[in-house]
Amino acid sequence: MTQRKPTQISISIDTEFSIAGHFEDPQHNQPVAEPAVYGAVDGREEALGFMLETFDRYDINASFFVECANYCFFGDEPMQGVIKRLQAAQQDIQLHVHPVWLSFNRDPALGEFPRHDDCTGRSFEELKRVFSACIDIFERWVGHRPLAIRTGSLRADDNVYRVMQELAIPLSSNIALGVYQPREALLNHDSGRHLIHGVMELPVFSYQDMNLAGKRHKKALQITSCSWPEMKHLLWKARRAGIENIVILTHPFEFIKKSDFRYNRLTRNRVNQERLQRLCAFIQSHSEDFEAADFTGQHANWVKAEVHQPYIEMPSYFAVGRKLHNKLNDVFWAY
């Protein structure tokens, strides 16, 4: 098994603020920024701070897909402060696009945007305006253009890739068939690397997690929804199958629990924190078989060639155990 190059594991983090009920009740509910990313509990950051400490401890390079359109509501801060933290930690930064934040724009030069969050179903020119606005904010905050884009809620269609090609963005990670299935067959990929209109797409890894009574279920690989025994079994099975790339999805807010959508009371999410710690320790301790890979560090290699990978099926009992574990974690505040 160790004769081949290590299987690359890309931990990708969608880093975003929350609308937090503002559209339903704007007088009483303002969007929430820092609590959704930092997750401060008793003076300790249980979200972003915890993640950066964990990555530093195990020497892991991850890719943070940072949402930038929130500038239209909050201004440069606080997300620019988040970016400074990521840069100080030498972590990879790419662009995450949630177009709904652009509906707060009051700059006539930027124009008006409809209040909906999908990148799908938009015209080429409208989507180009959305992406261009977000790229400009990203470049001002980060100091360079992004190499990769991830659309909000992992929704993508053909126009997403045509616009990215027009804007010279070489990489994307917009597909997760366990979350959302695009209509176009060209976009239906479970994993690997796939050239779509000149853009190299690396989907969030999706696999079959259940096959009960002839009903198959597809799942995307996420920290918050996959137990560690399930994840560990999947990684070794993928390794034996010759898988080259595995993209895992998470968010800072997955490492805290909140009492309500306003983030009024927080505590750490012990279960999810332990999953991330175990994953990072696993990568470090099995360096001949696995390695952490981020989008900037691997850009030159990834754009060279497509990779078509086998579909992975998991025993259903892992899903049953994970569902019970996640339910306990959801129900009991101090679990």
pLDDT tens across the length of the chain (335 residues): 446 899 999 999 999 999 999 999 999 999 999 999 999 999 999 999 999 999 999 999 999 999 999 999 999 999 999 999 999 999 999 999 999 999 999 999 888 999 999 999 999 999 999 999 999 999 999 999 999 999 999 999 999 999 999 999 999 999 999 999 999 999 999 999 999 999 999 999 999 998 776 678 999 999 999 999 999 999 999 999 999 999 999 999 999 999 999 999 999 999 999 999 999 999 999 999 999 999 999 999 999 999 999 999 998 878 878 888 888 888 888 88
Domain residue ranges of the chain, discontinuous segments joined by +: 7-331
Read off the tokens for 30: 């303002």
The pLDDT of residue 3 is 63
The pLDDT of residue 293 is 98
For 7-331, CATH gives: 3.20.20.370
Read off the tokens for 304: 């060279």
72 HSE (CA, 13 A, CB side)? 26
C-alpha span between 74 and 317 (Å, rounded): 45
C-alpha span between 329 and 177 (Å, rounded): 25
Cβ–Cβ < 8 Å for 122, 130: yes
Read off the tokens for 175: 């597909």
Cβ–Cβ < 8 Å for 7, 238: yes
Q: What is the 3-state secondary structure (H, E, C) of the chain?
A: CCCCCCEEEEEEEEECCECCCCCCCCCCCCCECHHHHCCEECCEECCHHHHHHHHHHCCCCCEEEEECCCHHHHCCCCHHHHHHHHHHCCCEEEEEECHHHHHHCCCCCCCCCCCCCCCCCCCHHHHHHHHHHHHHHHHHHHCCCCCEEEEHHHCCCHHHHHHHHHCCCCEECCCECCCECCCCHHHCCCCCEEEECCEEECCCCEEEEEEECCEEEEEECECCCCCHHHHHHHHHHHHHCCCCEEEEEECHHHHEEECCCCCCCEEECHHHHHHHHHHHHHHHHCCCCEEECCHHHHHHHHCCCCECCCCCECCHHHHHHHHHHHHHHHHCCCC
If one counts every other C-beta atom within 10 angstroms of the C-beta of residue 206, the result is 22
Cβ–Cβ < 8 Å for 205, 246: yes
